[in-house]
Structure 1
């Protein structure tokens, strides 16, 4: 077991030491890696491999933060004023007002802390779901572990698309290139080699090292972890940087502006109410002044929706957790706003729109076309010629095509409990499956031993492997790739067991075969080979060997569309979302699949990457308005398409899985990475990860994003209309106190429609749980029947403000009418005391707001639509009713809140008057629906 000194020395100058020496000092076997037990011991000793973030906020500071608000300061001031008044008046009995207000402050703080904790827990859970992983050797086996659990001495297994999880010394590399721009600023990928450097070198020239935070752009490699966490080069940079603050989204800014504007308005209204009370009713003693001050403070606190930001965070967090359960993992809560506004979805074909179970169905060689039966990865089926039998020459050619494709291959096909599974690229796996269906192929392949590989790259569009025929036979290079690319490198053609020169006529015929397969929606891959006279085993295999190849044939591979993809695309079109398919496949294949799925008409055309290269930005922008299928494109073209669509005012979602897709995903409004086939680099660049790589999941996430935004509008509609109702009740009650009989109700001087503590109580029970329940409200309106929302659109439009103000006014009027009904005098003659009448008004306003919770679920749909679909809303309303009964009927609460017991007639009046808000809004919605239908009819004409 190495000591700490040895490990530190190994890390300090690892790039100048032989890899074997580094491994010895770190106590690791390069063939097996660390044991699980040793890795656990080192993790416990050194801590997680994470950059130091902002220190967690202690619980006591979170609690204290709940009291750091101007409105809370007002309430605390009200407590002080109440205590002073109580003391001046002789300190008789308990200071009830001060105790009640203090209790409400504490309850508000508890609610605020609970809401923030819930949102924080949800974000933490999402962070775990999107945590980066690394492949390591542990106990001789490859294992995928969270990158945070990497330790010094771990053996990293690197492949194209991997994010490098720690600083590490290479001891093996094949065509390895690493993108280090995030660390060094160098835009070009750096070629890496395990060869030890002869002299000290700057960071960008340490070619035998890989560093945390960089990405593998090409090739494969293995490396020994030398530094983790803050000891890495990325950690050194992190030490110099302050934590960046994420810019708020337009929605968050709007909520902040609404809260601020309402705060200013309500403070003005509170002052006007206080002045009005003083002018109309007068102040006869200090106690009256205290009552007026408490009223003004309570009105300001109750009317300002100070809980909006916290409730917004909770609703977003709950919604994102719901998405995660449906296989759409949104990495940041703020992305939900863009997701619900997506107007264009640019999607890959393979695996997203299709099942990604590639199956070879056709093999075309010089002797004709052969059909391969069977689908999926179960190797059951057979190979037939055009007349049902394979001739000797065709059998040899087909066997060579399937055999060469199986050898030039990195996939694996295994069987577990009767289920066939693949590891690696599905296209490569298709060769493994098809080869098993042709008798004799497997025995021929056993004669070849793999020696080297020239990896596939998106630029070359092909790969090759070098094999030696046993025992001590010739070296053979097997290649497969895009047929057009492969044919350019071929000079001869396989015909039976012989080869002939690849003439222009034979080349044209081979190209026609490819076109015919593509027209039938097959993906095509060509296969070729050549013998190599002499190869130095120690030398790196060079791509220059991929010349003068012998063309064998082409296979037609089908990837069946997902059954649910066509339905999802139709749903996207219904929602006003355009779907664009981007693929590396042949244009004819792309159009056929797109037409089958309903993306375009069969007569539509596909634009190729080569054609995109000829367009200037303005021409490209014009083309993207018309063309919805792009074929033979590279990841660089994806970025250009995203930029063109965005410059045209679209909100763009882009899917991707390869390392080169990362720039396009990062540039898109909603970058979507594949959770199964996606690389770590794309997952880091994306805002959303599809756990099932399914296009239908994107549409489900868009729907959920729209539902979340609808729910935000619901709680805004509810909170603001309720707060307007409270303000208008007090203001109109003071102005028209004589009209409703309040002035004659008492000989004690100052008489108000509601007490300060009653206003605070209403705010406490109606603005908390019902608003939160709306955050989990299921879809009421058909959110996919409307056009995408623009990010510049206001969350509260003019029609919604009209509803908020009118519903608030109705609340105030029915509350004041309830008071008038039971007071002597006024518009309606009553016979009850002021306490009873005020309690009726107080209870009527509470019930009106609880009824309003059902109104607020939709701007136009009836409250009775899906009435019982939200059990949490019903629970919150039931809780509000129980609490109101308690505050009215329990003696100690009567003292605290100035209430009096009510009989059945009073309770019936409260319910009936409170429900007027519901019936008013139903009538308003009927009118809105009728106007909407009329406008739709006019538009149709």
Structure 2
């Protein structure tokens, strides 16, 4: 740390002051502060290097599939020029528009992602109170330098990392940095051992806030040298990971690029070898066919359909209160196998709540959670009625609210607090007892106070009792072990009885029992002051107190989180809680939420530090809770899970979560309680901070992934059908009668026809498939692992099978329409090509229904997708127009077909559907037989009744 050496928390305050060359009373001289500012720079987080917009835009073109589409544009333009440059090169224009739209979309998304570090800078406090030249003054936070003495008061934001010099009841809210749910009590005492940030109780950190009390601290680090700076540095170094879908599409693009070159070369070579090519015109015609085939082999509709399908998914998720920043993140969340979730504010409400009240007459459950005063007092599952126990509870809660500086208000239907959350919990619990708050306010008036300090661990107020003229009561709350030592009596059933050693031990045992339930305990006591207000208002009056009882306080789990976790687990995902809180608290919350915890399934920050990367990767396979962790630990956890092949979703709301949100496959930030940093670093924001919304988003993501596989199956099988048609047509030209047509380059389809097929079927039908309803069992499937391919070997087999059948029926249609050949048709080349052309288009339209599932029959839920039927009808109508209208006949070298020819084309095209149905039927039978054999083997291995 700048100027203070490392680990200032391990040195006493005098030593830190000496190292920094400053005075704890008078602070720095103004001139020295200016000199240090010039030397170390302003107290700001470094801005990320700005990448010019034009470079970001060009970077979008580096995707292999985009490069392939650029080549397709060149090929299309070449074909258009070779044909005489007539009309508009629609294919090239459409592909160019697709590329531009994708580039602009990617540019905007990347610009948003790069605002994360800028958001960190905006979190800096505007001013700070410092001592300079012996005077307290306000300065702009960027002007604070190492050696400045900060003056801290309730409500102040901390401007820099600083070593405490003095503290009076100082509690600092550090949840945004460390994940600690409760404000941390600060103590200037030296910490001799190594400590995580959350355990450095003699330090205050930049970006945190004073919840209560006051103090002074000497600045030890500013700007990027602070703990906040470490987070910003981690965030800057953490690269935005490409999603599994993006990586898969890029891989497909590279594979297609190689395949296109090879296929085009093979087909062109085959035609050149088999056809009677003699002139330059013939060579150009062959090359034109090869170029057209190359364009046909590239699924140029893929990026557009992918973007539209994801965008529609984003709109649906927005209606579910999930805001997605990166389109590809939608699919990633559906593939998530592990959800790493922050505890405070994500699984819990970040609202301290009194859960249990224990008095001499018994233990009372306080229902309700959070700051909304809805709930009641219950004993044994029934409402607490009038009697001694209720009287004791009323006295305890009323006294706890008297020794209290917090305030509870209702604003626009929401309940908010001012002050310490633990003190606010007393106000909420009191409001659940009818009339108690009003009675307290009417009867008592504060006339003195002894504030909470870390040394005393007590807070006391002096209250004038309106029912006892001149009477003053001492009301104290604080740590049970400290307060009990000052109690000599206990209130029991309206009487005050002596507090003996046995009863004192019993109360302390209750404290331990509540602590085992991860409840923070506070005790409350009182006594009337002899002589009214004549006693001094100091800690000498905190004696001979009357013990009223204990309260157990916790930050409660969100009620909807348990059901959401159960559904996530049922969907095959593992939920891992990651928190900066104490392990005991983490285990309690995990158990309440249904996250199974055993000794072997929990890691602490210290455990993580002892493990190397491989050891952590192995350990994380069984872990469900990580406690007392830092931002660096979170990054290592995410890295270990991803190295083990998991697809990781990370949720969080604080500054400390930002690097992990950026590093995960998908980062999910809380929209209500989340910091701006977390929202900027994340891929998705939950507008309602509801963990259950994540599960709804998972369902949406899985449905989208299923649709991506569907339209990939359709696009690739259709394109393979076109390629195989051209290849087999060139190889079998003699048998099909193509060589007898008199054309030097006789091919099954012309370049314009190939481009038309591609344009017709790669757009509307593919898009319609992309919005198919999700499968019924989408949430009962296991998540796909990182190593799983979008297109697995079984899917490639199905794609190749459909493509082969498509090519065969197209060539059969050609043979039936062309004189000679294997089947002895009677038409000319124009007739044969028109039938082949039409059959291939219709076969691809039948393939739309095949592609909806590689297992389920196409006839299942046949009419659930009306958009698909509309797309098929539109494409079929356009094909009829191309075949039957004279002016389009000239453009595409087609000839009108008769009714019989249309029936032949339709019948042949439908073979694609029935062939795939037969394959699915056989595969279902094989799976059933394998399942039956597996069941028989399990039965055979099971021990028989009465056996050994």
Pairwise same-fold verdict (TM > 0.5)? yes
Residue number in structure 2 paired with 1:208? none
Residue number in structure 1 paired with 2:834? 839
- Of the candidates 490, 496, 507, which is equivalent to residue 495 of structure 1? 490
1:516-915 maps to which residues of 2 (within 5 A)?
A: 523=519, 525-528=521-524, 553-556=549-552, 565-581=561-577, 598-600=594-596, 616-617=610-611, 625-626=621-622, 628=624, 650-662=646-658, 665=661, 668-744=664-740, 746-780=741-775, 782-915=777-910
Deviation digits for residues 862-920 of structure 1 (CA, Å, limit 9, x no counterpart): 22333333344333333322322222223222211111122222222222222221221
- The 8 Å contact of residues 367 and 376 in structure 2, kept in 1 or not, is answered as yes
Residue number in structure 1 paired with 2:944? none
- The 8 Å contact of residues 251 and 795 in structure 1, kept in 2 or not, is answered as yes
Distance 1:583 1:834, change over 3 A: same
Residue number in structure 2 paired with 1:92? none
Distance 1:707 1:367, change over 3 A: same
Deviation digits for residues 733-762 of structure 1 (CA, Å, limit 9, x no counterpart): 111122222223x33443221001111111
Residue number in structure 2 paired with 1:447? 445
Residue number in structure 2 paired with 1:230? none
Q: 2:69 aligned with 1:74, yes or no?
A: no
- Of the candidates 93, 96, 104, which is equivalent to residue 91 of structure 2? 104
Unpaired segments ≥5 residues, structure 1: 1-14, 19-49, 83-94, 135-146, 158-164, 182-186, 192-212, 223-232, 534-544
Distance 1:546 1:848, change over 3 A: farther
More deviation in 718-727 or 244-253?
244-253
Distance 1:902 1:415, change over 3 A: same
Distance 1:335 1:409, change over 3 A: farther
Q: 2:903 aligned with 1:926, yes or no?
A: no
Alpha-carbon distance in structure 1 between the residues aligned to 2:52 and 2:864:
42
Distance 1:454 1:859, change over 3 A: farther
Q: 2:297 aligned with 1:303, yes or no?
A: yes
CA shift, 1:728, in A, is 0.7
Residue number in structure 1 paired with 2:195? none
CA shift, 1:725, in A, is 0.9
Alpha-carbon distance in structure 1 between the residues aligned to 2:797 and 2:152:
69
1:278-293 maps to which residues of 2 (within 5 A)?
A: 278-293=272-287
Alpha-carbon distance in structure 2 between the residues aligned to 1:626 and 1:451:
51
Residue number in structure 2 paired with 1:216? 208
CA shift, 1:72, in A, is 1.9
CA shift, 1:294, in A, is 1.0
Residue number in structure 1 paired with 2:270? 276
Alpha-carbon distance in structure 2 between the residues aligned to 1:60 and 1:342:
29
Q: How many residues end up aligned between the 2 structures?
A: 801
- The 8 Å contact of residues 384 and 390 in structure 1, kept in 2 or not, is answered as no
Alpha-carbon distance in structure 2 between the residues aligned to 1:245 and 1:609:
26
Residue number in structure 2 paired with 1:87? none
CA shift, 1:858, in A, is 2.2
Alpha-carbon distance in structure 1 between the residues aligned to 2:840 and 2:334:
35
1:115-130 maps to which residues of 2 (within 5 A)?
A: none
Residue number in structure 2 paired with 1:5? none
CA shift, 1:595, in A, is 6.0
CA shift, 1:841, in A, is 0.9
Alpha-carbon distance in structure 2 between the residues aligned to 1:660 and 1:403:
37
CA shift, 1:924, in A, is 1.6
Residue number in structure 1 paired with 2:362? 368
1:163-242 maps to which residues of 2 (within 5 A)?
A: 173-174=153-154, 176-177=157-158, 215-216=207-208
Alpha-carbon distance in structure 2 between the residues aligned to 1:808 and 1:548:
91
CA shift, 1:765, in A, is 1.8
More deviation in 879-888 or 248-257?
248-257
- The 8 Å contact of residues 704 and 774 in structure 2, kept in 1 or not, is answered as no
Residue number in structure 2 paired with 1:513? 510
- The 8 Å contact of residues 609 and 637 in structure 1, kept in 2 or not, is answered as no
Alpha-carbon distance in structure 2 between the residues aligned to 1:552 and 1:606:
40
Alpha-carbon distance in structure 1 between the residues aligned to 2:600 and 2:288:
71
Deviation digits for residues 579-612 of structure 1 (CA, Å, limit 9, x no counterpart): 34567899899778766765449xx679778797
Residue number in structure 2 paired with 1:267? 261
CA shift, 1:723, in A, is 1.3
- The 8 Å contact of residues 635 and 660 in structure 1, kept in 2 or not, is answered as yes
Distance 1:117 1:470, change over 3 A: farther
Q: Please, what is the CA RMSD of the aligned residues? A: 5.7
Alpha-carbon distance in structure 1 between the residues aligned to 2:930 and 2:606:
41
CA shift, 1:428, in A, is 6.0
Alpha-carbon distance in structure 1 between the residues aligned to 2:606 and 2:589:
21
Unpaired segments ≥5 residues, structure 2: 1-27, 32-46, 130-139, 145-149, 163-176, 185-204, 215-225, 530-540, 939-948
- The 8 Å contact of residues 399 and 525 in structure 2, kept in 1 or not, is answered as no
- The 8 Å contact of residues 371 and 415 in structure 2, kept in 1 or not, is answered as yes
| SS, match of residue 363 in structure 1 | strand
- The 8 Å contact of residues 115 and 314 in structure 1, kept in 2 or not, is answered as no
- The 8 Å contact of residues 491 and 502 in structure 1, kept in 2 or not, is answered as no
Distance 1:594 1:277, change over 3 A: same
TM-score by length of 2: 0.69
CA shift, 1:815, in A, is 0.8
Residue number in structure 2 paired with 1:325? 319
CA shift, 1:825, in A, is 1.8
More deviation in 589-598 or 254-263?
589-598
Distance 1:368 1:113, change over 3 A: same
CA shift, 1:774, in A, is 3.7
Deviation digits for residues 466-522 of structure 1 (CA, Å, limit 9, x no counterpart): 867579999989666xxxx76468633472399999987555423443465678x79
CA shift, 1:614, in A, is 10
| SS, match of residue 99 in structure 1 | coil
- The 8 Å contact of residues 710 and 852 in structure 2, kept in 1 or not, is answered as yes
Deviation digits for residues 189-238 of structure 1 (CA, Å, limit 9, x no counterpart): 9x9xxxxxxxxxxxxxxxxxxxxx9743765999xxxxxxxxxx999xx9
| SS, match of residue 555 in structure 1 | strand
| SS, match of residue 89 in structure 2 | helix
| SS, match of residue 256 in structure 1 | helix
| SS, match of residue 421 in structure 1 | strand
- The 8 Å contact of residues 238 and 663 in structure 2, kept in 1 or not, is answered as no
- The 8 Å contact of residues 406 and 428 in structure 1, kept in 2 or not, is answered as no
Distance 1:116 1:317, change over 3 A: farther
Alpha-carbon distance in structure 2 between the residues aligned to 1:290 and 1:644:
56
CA shift, 1:812, in A, is 0.7
- The 8 Å contact of residues 346 and 579 in structure 1, kept in 2 or not, is answered as yes
TM-score by length of 1: 0.69
Alpha-carbon distance in structure 2 between the residues aligned to 1:461 and 1:610:
28
Residue number in structure 1 paired with 2:7? none
CA shift, 1:298, in A, is 0.7
Alpha-carbon distance in structure 2 between the residues aligned to 1:463 and 1:708:
55
